Structure 1
Amino acid sequence: MLRRLCIIITVAVLCQLHSSLTLAETKKPKQPTKFLANPLEVTTTDPLLPPSIKRQPLTLPELQSLERALDELNQEAAAKLQAGDQDTAFEIWNREARLRWYLGSLAQVQTLSRFGAIAWGRNASEQVRFITQRLQTIQKQAQRQKTVDLDLMRSLGEAYQSVRSPQLALAVYDQILTAVQQQQDAVAVLQTLTIMGELHLSWFDYPQAAATYERLLNLTATQSDKTSQLTYLQQLRYIYQQTKQPQPALDVLKRIAEIYEQENNLIKIPELKLAIGSNYETIAQENPSLLKEAFNNYQEAYLMGMRSRQYARAAEALQKLIALYRTQEQIDEALQTSQILIETQEQAVNYYGMMQAYDQIGQLYLERQEYPQALAAFQKGLEIAQQIKHKETYFAQQIEKATK
């Protein structure tokens, strides 16, 4: 009986195994998921189009009627999105954008640009991909034409920016640049290069941005448009600061200062002299002979700051000088400059700055182990600290240190 039971169980297991193997052989592997069809490329007839659309182009009244209907679709989609129904809103906008083609490529690109900005803002990556693909199709069609449609190309460039495709946008602007150069349209060349520079900069492509602004600067070098030149120079200053290139930054700063001096705009000079001195100080790490230039520019920043009553700039220049004197172990000069700093802060009525200056003097005297002078400086600092109710404990500790 036991033997018969074992045989029955064995047969059942073998049958089950055979069934599983047969099922595995007959079951087809799952097909990979395909990309959804681009709704902007759908070619089915739309109820908004007249039946004669396949035989003849739309008449002017039909075009006007279609444009009104599409404007209404845009409003309907916006209302759906506002109500939280993004899927329906996007369906309507796809339909609107698709039908805008009958009003011309430019009209469709402008719609795609608007729609693309919305889709990007909603993190709708698939919809952004659809829009980008459609823009590329329109671009290819436009490139087959004998003449360049500049309005269409500019609109394409803006649309690519809307969907955050900087490389595609730059490729379009490069074509525009070639076209306007051939037309010898100097204004359009500057406008196109400006857009390209801003685009490079917005995507942190500093080398390309620098090359573009240098090019713009060269194009305006012989013109009297100082405003544009200053704009390009300020952009280059920012780029070279970000990329830590002190020598190119120095050259740019000098050119900015030269323009301000020509325009007698001396109020801008102290800040520039500070920046020039700072770049000289950086370069002097490899070429110590240039340290003198840093000193000279800091001194000029101080003098011009005082003349223009920019006491904060003047004080900043003195702080830079004190720091340099200390690195050169010129303590007497550092102390003398610190005393001038106190007078400058008094004129600025900057009690905090005066307190900091007295602390600095005290520390310098401590380094030289001249304790009575250090004590006097810290006591002055404490008096101001008590007035502004700040760092009183700190100065009391410094006084105790100098006393001991």
Structure 2
Amino acid sequence: MLRRLSIILTAAILWQFNSSLTLAQSQKPSQADKYPPTPLEIVVPDPLLPPLINKQQLSPDELQTLEVELDKLSETAEAKLQAGDKLAAFDIWNRELRLRRFLGSLAEVQALSRVGAIASNENDRQEIFYITQRLQAIQKQVVSSKNADLEVLRSLGEAYQKVRSPQLALDAYNQVLAIVRQQQDADAEVSTLKKIGELHLSWFDYPKAAASYQELLGLAAAKSDRLLQVSYLQQLAYIYEEGKDYQQSINIQGKLAEIYLSENDQTQLPKLKLAIASNYESLAKENPTLLQEAFKYYQEAYSTAWQLEQYVNASEALQKLITLYRSQGQIDEALQTGQILVETETRAVNFYGIMQAYDQIGQIYLGRKQYPEALTAFQKGLELAQQIKHEEAYFNQQIEKVSKANL
């Protein structure tokens, strides 16, 4: 009896083991289960769709009705998000996006772009992944067709930007660029190059941004369009400065100066010379011999601005010169420049600027332990501070400091 019970138990255990093994094998995930379709690819009947026979196209009336209903879905999703139910919101948006494809590629991409921007703001990486994957699928279809839809490609570029995929956006815009160049559409070529340049710039890729604007400059030069050339040169000067390619920035600014001089437009020169001087000052950190170029351009900026009665620019150049002179131990030159600064700020009727100039002069004299001269400068600064009711306490402190040091 005991042996029979043992045999029965053993058989039961073996049957259970084999059943479990069979069940486990039957539940082993297939490739499809391992990589399930995204919510945007799930094919399920939807009450908003009429029964489709042989994948027939929706009629114009049906498309219009569907578009209205999808707009309502989007509003519902937005309300859910505002109420804090993010999961439900994106479930609804995903349903909307699945159905948007019935309205055509452009409508779908625009909807993906809109929801992608929301997903990016919410930092929903999974949703961003779904949307990016769908955008890539659409792009593949568009590019593989005989006549690629430029409007869809441009919208794809914008959508990729919304989901923060700059390289994919650039791929789309470069495909647009290749097509419009083939079509010899000059205006579209320029607008696309601008998009590409701006995109590189927004992601701080200064060398590639510069390359785009150099192409734009070449196109403007070919048409002898002076206004566009100036605009692109200004942008290039900024890009090279931001990318710390100061020599290239100086080269571009030199071209700008040539244009201004050729057209006898000197009003732009003071600011331009200030920028050139600043770039030379940056280069001088590695190559001190270039500091003389910085001095030269600051001086030219001052003299040109003075002649043009641009006293704000003249003051800025003088301020820079004072700092440079002091850094090089040229204190007498710094003091002389400080006196010129007082006169310049007086011409500009800039009481705050005059006050600051006297402060600089006072600090220089204080550093040289010329206390009477420092005291005089700080007292003049205090008079102005009292007039404009600003920094009176500061100048009183400086006067007290000098008086104690002079004991």
Q: TM-score, normalised by structure 2?
A: 0.82
1:395 aligns with 2:366: no
Amino acid corresponding to residue 232 of structure 1 in structure 2 = Y
Amino acid corresponding to residue 235 of structure 2 in structure 1 = Q
The 5-angstrom pairing of residues 346-357 of structure 1 reads 346-357=346-357
Separation in 2, partners of 1:80, 1:377? 66
Deviation of 1:263 (Å): 5.6
The 5-angstrom pairing of residues 284-323 of structure 1 reads 284-285=284-285, 290-323=290-323
Partner of 1:245: 245
Structure 1, unaligned stretches of length 5 or more?
A: 1-21
Partner of 1:8: none
Moved more, 356-365 or 162-171: 356-365
Deviation of 1:114 (Å): 1.4
Separation in 2, partners of 1:153, 1:58? 24
Per-residue CA distance 1:279-305 (angstroms, 9 max, x = gap)? 223334555554443233212221233
Q: TM-score, normalised by structure 1?
A: 0.82
Separation in 1, partners of 2:306, 2:232? 29
Contact 1:322 1:334 in 2 (8 A): yes
Separation in 2, partners of 1:378, 1:117? 56
Supply the RMSD in Å over aligned alpha carbons: 3.2
Amino acid corresponding to residue 398 of structure 1 in structure 2 = V
Amino acid corresponding to residue 78 of structure 2 in structure 1 = A
**Cα distance change on mapping 1:77 and 1:144 into 2, 3 Å:** same
The 5-angstrom pairing of residues 30-45 of structure 1 reads 37-45=37-45
The 5-angstrom pairing of residues 255-274 of structure 1 reads 255-261=255-261, 266-274=266-274
Separation in 2, partners of 1:260, 1:95? 58
Separation in 2, partners of 1:221, 1:129? 43
Deviation of 1:214 (Å): 1.7
Amino acid corresponding to residue 110 of structure 2 in structure 1 = Q
**Cα distance change on mapping 1:121 and 1:368 into 2, 3 Å:** closer
**Cα distance change on mapping 1:400 and 1:119 into 2, 3 Å:** same
Separation in 2, partners of 1:179, 1:171? 13
Structure 2, unaligned stretches of length 5 or more?
A: 1-15
Separation in 2, partners of 1:47, 1:375? 87
Deviation of 1:34 (Å): 5.7
The 5-angstrom pairing of residues 55-134 of structure 1 reads 56-134=56-134
**Cα distance change on mapping 1:68 and 1:331 into 2, 3 Å:** closer
Per-residue CA distance 1:50-91 (angstroms, 9 max, x = gap)? 224425322333333333333333333334334443333322
SS at match of 1:244: coil
Contact 1:381 1:395 in 2 (8 A): no
SS at match of 1:56: coil
Contact 1:382 1:396 in 2 (8 A): no
Q: How many residues align?
A: 381
Deviation of 1:330 (Å): 3.7
Moved more, 222-231 or 245-254: 222-231
Identity of aligned residues (%): 57
Separation in 1, partners of 2:107, 2:375? 78
SS at match of 1:40: coil
Separation in 2, partners of 1:287, 1:31? 69
